[in-house]
Structure formats: C-alpha cells, structure tokens
Amino acid sequence: MQQFIEGTSLQKELDNQGTWQAAAVIQFLKEILPILQFIHQRSVIHRDIKPDNIMRRRDTGQIVLIDFGLSKSMKGSVLALPGTRAGSYGYVPLE
C-alpha cells in the first residue's frame, strides 16, 4: 500500500535553507537513525537513500523514508551480477 505524504523532501529543505549547522544535523540523525534501525532489524536494505527520498510530514514534522522500489530483503540469498547497478547516481558506491 502506498500512502501520500504531505510535506517537503529533505532535498527541498536543503535547497531552501542551505547548509545546516551541527545542531540541525544531529537532530536529523536522531530522527532518521531509528527509522534505518527499524527497517534493518526486519532484514531490509533501502538501497536508494538520498535527500529526495526523505520527507518531513507537514503536520507533525516527522521524518519519513520513502521509495522502497530498490529495497532488498536480506532474508534470502543475495546475488550481485557483474554490470548490474541499483540506486541513484551520486548516492551509491561505484563498486
């Protein structure tokens, strides 16, 4: 099921606000790390984390990780075929 998130992407926040001060970065990490822990505890790897895929709800200010289209379940075997890529250019390692 897909849900509409009324809010702003992290990319738009960064475009509007510019560089964050250390306190804003620390606050953001306090919000996003529990989300990553939650999905990793369920053996899911997002594989496309970037500012466009992180939203802040307009009504609550809550951070939401979106676009699990490239996510991978780690419960089965994982095969990486030569020449295959997943993720957004600039946000994933070349290897």
Residues carrying an active site annotation: 48
Distance CA 64, CA 49 (A): 11
Q: Given CA atoms 27, 71, 90, 54 in this order, what sign does their dihedral have? A: negative
DSSP of 78-92? ----TT---S-TTTS
Could you identify the residue written with the tokens 């997943």?
A: 86
